[in-house]
Each structure stands twice: as structure tokens, then as C-alpha cells.
Amino acid sequence: MIPETAHGSNFASAAMAGFEVVPVPMRDGEVDMPSFRALCDDRVAAFMATVPNTLGLFEQRILEVSDTVHSCGGLMYFDGANMNALIGVVKPAQLGFDIAHLNLHKTFSTPHGGGGPGAGPVAVKKHLADYLPIPRLRKSEDGSYTWDYASRRSIGRVREGFGNFGVLLRAYTYIRTLGLEGLRQAARDSVLVSNYAAKRLSQVYSLPFSGKPRKHEFVISSKPIGKRAFDIAKHILKWGYAPTIYFPQLVDEALMVEFTESETKREVDEYIQGLLDAAKSDLTSDPNNTAVDRLDEVRAAREPKLTWRDLGYVQP
């Protein structure tokens, strides 16, 4: 079971693993508990959730959700995409999760763009540890380390087994450099700047499920001002930013705003001003200061030109 606000990769990864995926309806921006309970029976393998969710809202009844899933014999799976808001503040295990993956590029400063390299460490509670991939690194009493291949319950080897070492090392360095209090402050800063921006933008745009504090991200809608999120995104390109639009899909003309703890107030205010400027501008010719003008999106989708041959270039 996966909340309908979840990222598409959650549904896709569960389906690729052979599970029947069942979306869970939302109410007031959070899991609709009556619908959730009606779906929860002995067929449930797991409930995969992002906390806070993609609307930037903390699932206030997550402990009740966890208890219900466990009572059905299922496991709780934590998508760490939004751990930026919780790091150093709360542990997934305290929310009832049995399994958690961490998006290092979202929370621990590793590269994101260009398709990778990425890394997503998976952590489990002790009762699932024997199922983790092998080899497992063990620390001996004398301080030495050895590879352990002995777990008979292990799902086996996963590719090379060592992951993208450079990315993992960078994340580890970031964690050790900041320390617990530094990580906690990073989470607080990301939540602070998110609520600051949401407050300013809600004066012009619609803030769905208003009245609830946001965590490190929030979603606004341009529908009430009569503009398409698509056109606003083109305008924002003039300011040097590329926003996330039309996600999550339960918000019409959605624009997702997700700052990090490292953005300066000047950068945050500039982005906010770009969105405010878009609300009162003619957007038909935007962007007009980029290397490429506005593309024909429909034609690009139907007739993609993916190689130099498609573009009619002649090789010298």
C-alpha cells in the first residue's frame, strides 16, 4: 500500500518487485484513515510512506498507521526522500518503520544531477538484519573488520555489493563534519525557510490544506490566479531556476517549492520574487533570455530528435 501523494518511483519499484500496488486515498493532505483501515488485511506485505509527505505535511497519525499495518502482519517501509526535515530530530524507527532507505542526494549533500552516481543505503530493524545483502561488514573485538558471507537468510549479493563508494564517503564526511547538532540545525533551517516562503507566496497563490505547518517543502497552486504552472515554470527559467510542476497530482496546477538548509536568504527571496512576478506578468513569450526559446512541447514528445542524425546534421 502506498499513499496517492507518493512519488511515482515508489509505485514503480514495488511493481517491479512483483507486488500488487494499492494506492491509499488522502484526506486533508494526509492518509485517509477510514479508507486505509478498509484496505488493510492479511494480504498486506508492506506500507511504503514518505514522511513528511510530498505536500510537506507530517503524517500526524503515522503511529496509528504503523500499528494497523503491523496488526495485519505487514511491514512499514520508510522512503527517506524527505528526511531533510527530520534528520537529528526523529528516527524512522520511532515512527514504527521497519525498513528505511536514505536518499543521500536529498539529505546528505551528495551529487544529484546528471543521472548520478546515486546511492541509497537501506537500513532495517534487527529482526530483518539477516535478510540484508551479503557480504556484510563485521567489526571484530580487536577492532579489525572482516566480510561475512554466512547469513543463510540473505537475499544474496546485489551487483558489486559495495555501492558507489565515493558517494557514500562524501555523505559520511558530511555527517561527521556537521555532527548531531549540526544535522539537527540543518533540519530546523530547512523547515524554517520553507514556512517563510509558504507564508509569503500564500498571499498570492493558493496553499492547499492551509493552517497546517509545512516541513522542508510545500506545494502551491496557480489555478486560482488563472495561470498554468507550466507557463510559470517557463518564466522562472529567466531567473535561473527550474521548478518542479504538476506534482503531486492531487493539486491542480501544482508548483512544488523545496529549499535546502544551504540556501541564503537572498536566494530564497529571489526565487519568491520570481514566482510573485510571474503571477502578474504576461508569460506567453517566456523564457526570453535562455539559450533556447520556448520549445514546442507537444512536437518534442511526439517527434523526439535524440541524435545528430535526427536533427539533419551531416557528419564531416
Please report, for the domain that includes residue 145, its CATH number: 3.40.640.10
CATH number at residue 271: 3.90.1150.10
- Summarised one tens digit per residue, pLDDT across range 26-66 is 999 999 999 999 999 999 999 999 999 999 999 999 999 99
- Summarised one tens digit per residue, pLDDT across range 151-172 is 889 998 887 667 788 888 999 9
100 pLDDT higher than 70 = yes
Q: What angle do CA 182, 92, 42 make, to 5 degrees?
A: 170
Q: For residues 196 and 110, state if they share a domain.
A: no
Single residue among 155, 176, 197 that ends a domain in this structure: 176
At residue 106, the pLDDT reads 86
At residue 115, the pLDDT reads 58
> Cell numbers at residue 72, please?
495485519
Q: For residues 157 and 279, state if they share a domain.
A: no
Q: For residues 186 and 171, state if they share a domain.
A: no
Q: For residues 57 and 158, state if they share a domain.
A: yes
The C-alpha cell 527517506 sits at 80
Q: For residues 192 and 170, state if they share a domain.
A: no
Q: For residues 204 and 153, state if they share a domain.
A: no
- Asked if 183 and 91 touch (Cβ cutoff 8 Å), the reply is no
Single residue among 146, 176, 206 that ends a domain in this structure: 176
- CA distances to 192, 227, 242, 245, 302 from 234, rounded to whole Å, are 27, 12, 8, 11, 20
Domain range holding 155?
2-176
Single residue among 114, 145, 176 that ends a domain in this structure: 176
Q: For residues 156 and 108, state if they share a domain.
A: yes
**pLDDT band for position 309 (50/70/90)?**
confident
Q: For residues 33 and 162, state if they share a domain.
A: yes
At residue 307, the pLDDT reads 80
Cβ burial, residue 175 (10 Å; 0-12/13-18/19+): middle
**pLDDT band for position 75 (50/70/90)?**
very high
Does a structural domain hold residue 316? no
**pLDDT band for position 313 (50/70/90)?**
low
Q: For residues 292 and 210, state if they share a domain.
A: yes
287 pLDDT higher than 60 = yes
* Pick from 114-123, 194-203, 207-216: least confident: 114-123
- Beta-carbon contacts of 262 under 8 Å, excluding residues fewer than 6 positions away, are none
Q: For residues 151 and 201, state if they share a domain.
A: no
The number of distinct structural domains making up the chain is: 2
Does a structural domain hold residue 310? no
- Summarised one tens digit per residue, pLDDT across range 206-265 is 999 988 999 999 999 999 999 999 999 999 999 988 889 999 999 999 999 999 888 899
Query: To the nearest whole number, what is the mean pLDDT of the chain?
Result: 92
At residue 276, the pLDDT reads 97
Does a structural domain hold residue 314? no
Alpha-helical segments (H) within 108-215:
165-201
d(CA 276, CA 288): 18
Q: For residues 70 and 219, state if they share a domain.
A: no
Q: For residues 227 and 119, state if they share a domain.
A: no
At residue 316, the pLDDT reads 57
Does a structural domain hold residue 308? no
